[in-house]
Amino acid sequence: MYKILEKQVFSPIIKLMVIEAPKVAKKCQPGQFVILRTHEEGERIPLTIADFDREKGTITIVFQEVGKTTRRLGRLEAGDCLRDFVGPLGTPSHIENFGTVICVGGGVGVAPVFPIARALKEAGNHVIGIMGARTKELIFWEEKMREACSELFVTTDDGSYVRKGFVTDVLKDVIEERGKEQIALVLAIGPQPMMRACCNLTREYGLKTIVSLNSLMVDGTGMCGCCRVTVGGQTRFVCVDGPEFDGHQVDFAELARRNAFFLEEEKLSLERYQSSGGCSCGCGCGGGQ
Amino acid sequence: MAELQEPKKKKEIIPKKHPMPAQDPAARVKNFDEVALGYDEETAVAEANRCLQCKKEPCRQGCPVEVEIPAFIKLIAERDFAGAIKKIKEKNALPAVCGRVCPQENQCEKYCTLGKKNEPVAIGRLERFCADWELAQGVFPQEVAPPTGFKVAVVGSGPGGLTCAADLAKLGHQVTIFEALHVPGGVLMYGIPEFRLPKRVVQAEIENLKKLGVNIEVNSVVGKFATIDELMNEEGFAAVYIGTGAGLPYFMNIPGENSCGVYSANEFLTRTNLMKAYLFPEWDTPIKIGKKVAVLGGGNVAMDAARTALRLGAEESWIVYRRSKNELPARHEEVENAIEEGVKFAFLTSPTRILADENGKVKAMECLKYELGEPDASGRRSPVPIPGSEFIMEVDTVVVAIGQGPNPLVPRTTKGLDVTKKGNIVADPATGATSKPGVFAGGDVVTGAATVILAMGAGRVAAKSIHQYLMAKKGES
Ligand SMILES: Cc1cc2nc3c(=O)[nH]c(=O)nc-3n(C[C@H](O)[C@H](O)[C@H](O)COP(=O)(O)OP(=O)(O)OC[C@H]3O[C@@H](n4cnc5c(N)ncnc54)[C@H](O)[C@@H]3O)c2cc1C
Ligand SMILES: Cc1cc2nc3c(=O)[nH]c(=O)nc-3n(C[C@H](O)[C@H](O)[C@H](O)COP(=O)(O)OP(=O)(O)OC[C@H]3O[C@@H](n4cnc5c(N)ncnc54)[C@H](O)[C@@H]3O)c2cc1C
Ligand code: SF4
Ligand code: SF4
Ligand code: FES
């Protein structure tokens, strides 16, 4: 069992948890992820490692409640335990001194961007951070990002905080202002439409762009092929070959179709969970046990 | 009759095996309960009495772990079931599993004297009977040697890893199994379906192992949380056994294969068995099945997938296979079971591409007809495509069951470990030793996808040489 040591509620649907997982914390690198299960009948879901503390043996996850498993997770409190927690999975981010790197985090994607930005800065890069959310209340980790980056831009879709506009608007401004020759690499993590939009933009400038893909997964170790995605015309497994890929090569349309395959079942699962008072074990524990 | 013809006291020969009681096909395709129900005591004793107790024990040479077959069968005939299971367990750590899934017709029963003119003794069914009898009684404790002080790591908890761990624990070594998934058992848990091998049987066998003092760490992917070198140099493991299996799914590499509704057999079976998608929505992991399912391939894995598809509610489940019925690599019994349950076969057929609708969902396969040509390297007649024979087969779901390779994770992260061109770990069949000192390997990761009992045999061989290796080490220090 893996204990939840700390919980922070960033917004009603975005939460942070610090999990006791020394084995994962010992070896994990920026860009890697874990797979967890909340309870015996639960699904295995992947979440990126947003931060880690090797000494304390902890892993930080930040998640957005979108369906049954993430909602159930969101109901757990410090002191509760997760059934399973395996990692670190996936190939770590490629970290070296590239020069100037732009790191874009959209929505909950800010969390996975953070450790990568920090590592890039430590490696000597000039890191320009861009973070955005739909609205002010969904912004989190602004201070942490400011520390991890050399400079940081913040934006909200509705203009309720700092400036109005999408992360792509800011990205475009930064590229135009600095000149594309000055920028070695762009990293974009967030919802698929956002990553796709970033790639469409950077393609015009010929700027290499790394994205972190959120495919469906089962085992996360290369055994099932559920996570396969077409990159540069070739089938790759996100869980072992990724999750990071050259965004200009990714077939986003295929990825979106594959991720939508179980929509009906996910909906049914969620409705069932909610109609049972948020707890599917039927014991009245409120989803906690 | 025999007695009349030959005055010397010779046993009456019952030509056929006592039939295995089984769930009716019409009922069983609607549930995931075990198909074969097992012998009761009377049937087991009667079947045991068919055995001729041959002096030369030909049946034993067919068993990769050399179970003392006549001896345990004699004990059954004498109604000493406790003695019989003890006898089996001297050689076979997982009899409840092997009795169910061993391809006996190619192994022990193939060499049975009775089988020359009649049906062989139902050795597998008798083995299963003993194991089930013991499980029902509560398992007897086994003897463990005093601690040697050595720590051994076993990577992967398939049948090979479990056997190796059991043997080493009995010899007094402190064994830790590292398993990537959240339950131990390997293919026995995620691959072979519940209706052929109930998961409670596997878990009961694993409980026995824990009683021997084996420590099992699930959620532990070796090569990720620690490499083999780190286990040996930092965590104090004096030797390592690698039994990571053949888990990497092969695809056809045809257009449309990433459409929604195309699963690898591994994904299809893992969702169903390990994640219990057949209990969705009580269990959270879903599976989509549609009306018509095509399973590509002709081995045990394909049969399991096709039979699983029917149980998940498919109206039609097809095996699409490049060769003909004679070349099907699956166990004969499983093919028969599949036919009984209504699985259909499209022989001499292979898809050339998968067609999807506007949402990317599978709607059909374009297939080519084949004919059989000259025998190939494997001795089977090789399939030759017939030009211009393309036709369209409408399907909702495609399961690709054309084989698995070794997962490259461990070899890639272990310095000095030799692998073959296909990525299998090179290990000496007589000892399990790899190119790296202190590191042993066996099972599917060495041989390529094979059988439960071969993996167990390899685990046993490796345990023996690991013991020798450690004892030699002790002598040195
Ligand atoms: C490598 C990797 C890292 C991830 N890291 C994070 C993270 O740090 N924080 C976070 O909040 N989420 C992350 N995700 C996404 C997360 O795994 C899914 O949100 C989660 O599995 C949804 O489970 P659920 O049962 O709550 O929802 P479901 O009921 O499974 O799905 C509900 C809705 O979410 C969509 N969805 C399901 N799975 C995914 C997915 N993998 N990606 C995008 N949409 C999905 C469905 O289409 C559906 O609309 C990551 C995914 C991957 C593959
Ligand atoms: C669907 C199906 C049906 C079959 N039917 C039969 C049958 O009827 N009869 C028969 O004899 N054989 C059958 N087989 C074959 C048989 O199951 C295998 O030959 C046997 O299980 C191989 O055993 P193993 O110990 O080598 O490894 P496996 O059973 O493959 O187990 C390997 C284990 O290692 C774990 N692992 C992998 N990598 C790592 C890592 N890096 N770190 C930690 N753990 C890791 C895996 O998660 C897995 O649990 C079938 C196989 C399948 C897939
Ligand atoms: S282990 Fe398999 S091959 Fe050996 S006797 Fe038992 S059923 Fe036969
Ligand atoms: S060969 Fe057949 S009859 Fe002879 S001892 Fe073995 S099981 Fe009995
Ligand atoms: S999730 Fe199974 S192979 Fe990637």
CATH code: domain of residue A111: 3.40.50.80
Residue B228 has a pLDDT of: 96
pLDDT digits (tens, 9 = 90+) for A184-201: 999 999 999 999 999 999
Query: Ligand 5 centre from A229 Cα, in Å?
Result: 11
pLDDT digits (tens, 9 = 90+) for A12-63: 999 999 999 999 999 999 999 999 999 999 999 999 999 999 999 999 999 9
Report yes or no on A14 lying in a domain: yes
> pLDDT-derived band of residue B379, with 50, 70 and 90 as boundaries?
confident
Q: For residues A59 and A114, state if they share a domain.
A: no
Looking up residue A51, the CATH number of its domain turns out to be: 2.40.30.10
Q: For residues A72 and A105, state if they share a domain.
A: no
Confidence check: pLDDT of B179 > 60: yes
CB contact set of B354 (below 8 Å; sequence gap of 6+) = B254, B255, B256, B257, B259, B262, B362, B364, B365, B366, B398
A149 vs B263: CA distance, rounded Å: 42
| Residue contact B284–A225, C-beta within 8 A | no
Q: Which of B167, B174, B176 is nearest to B147 (CA)?
A: B174
Q: For residues A109 and A241, state if they share a domain.
A: yes
Report yes or no on A276 lying in a domain: no
Report yes or no on A37 lying in a domain: yes
What's the domain count of chain A? 2
Confidence check: pLDDT of B403 > 60: yes
Q: Are B473 and B242 in contact (CB under 8 A)?
A: no
Report yes or no on A283 lying in a domain: no
Q: In this complex, which of B264, B359, B407 lies closest to A257 when CB atoms are compared? A: B359
Report yes or no on A289 lying in a domain: no
Q: For residues A166 and A61, state if they share a domain.
A: no
pLDDT digits (tens, 9 = 90+) for A240-255: 998 999 999 999 999 9
Report yes or no on A265 lying in a domain: no
Which amino acid makes up residue B281? P
Q: Which of B452, B409, B164 is nearest to B301 (CA)?
A: B452
Query: Ligand 1 centre from A6 Cα, in Å?
Result: 22
Q: For residues A185 and A125, state if they share a domain.
A: yes
| Residue contact B225–A269, C-beta within 8 A | no
A213 vs A133: CA distance, rounded Å: 19
Q: For residues A85 and A145, state if they share a domain.
A: no
Q: For residues A225 and A147, state if they share a domain.
A: yes
Task: Tell me which residue has its CA closest to atom 1 in ligand 3.
Answer: B98
Q: For residues A129 and A229, state if they share a domain.
A: yes
Q: For residues A120 and A237, state if they share a domain.
A: yes
Least confident interval from A45-54, A167-176, B132-141: B132-141
Domain carrying residue A128: 100-259
Residue for token pair 């391939």: B297
Report yes or no on A94 lying in a domain: no
Q: For residues A132 and A210, state if they share a domain.
A: yes
Residue B332 has a pLDDT of: 84
Residue A63 has a pLDDT of: 96
Please state the rounded mean pLDDT for residues A87-105.
Answer: 95
Q: For residues A158 and A133, state if they share a domain.
A: yes
**Beta-strand relationship, A33-37 and A228-231:** unpaired
pLDDT digits (tens, 9 = 90+) for B199-216: 999 998 898 889 999 999
Q: For residues A232 and A113, state if they share a domain.
A: yes
Boundary (domain end) residue, out of A36, A54, A89: A89
Helix (H, G, I), strand (E, B) or coil at A82: strand
* Residues from A in contact with B at Cβ < 8 Å: 23-24, 26-27, 37, 41-44, 68-69, 83-89, 218-219, 221-226, 228-230, 235, 240, 254, 257-258, 260-262, 265-266, 268-269, 272, 280
Q: State the complex-level ipTM.
A: 0.92
Q: Are A111 and A65 in contact (CB under 8 A)?
A: no
Q: Which of B165, B182, B115 is nearest to B123 (CA)?
A: B115
- Ligand 4 probe mutation, B75, B114, B116, B117, most atoms within 8 A of CB: B114
Report yes or no on A162 lying in a domain: yes
Prior bond of B184 cis (ω within 30°): no
Boundary (domain end) residue, out of A37, A57, A89: A89
Boundary (domain end) residue, out of A58, A89, A120: A89
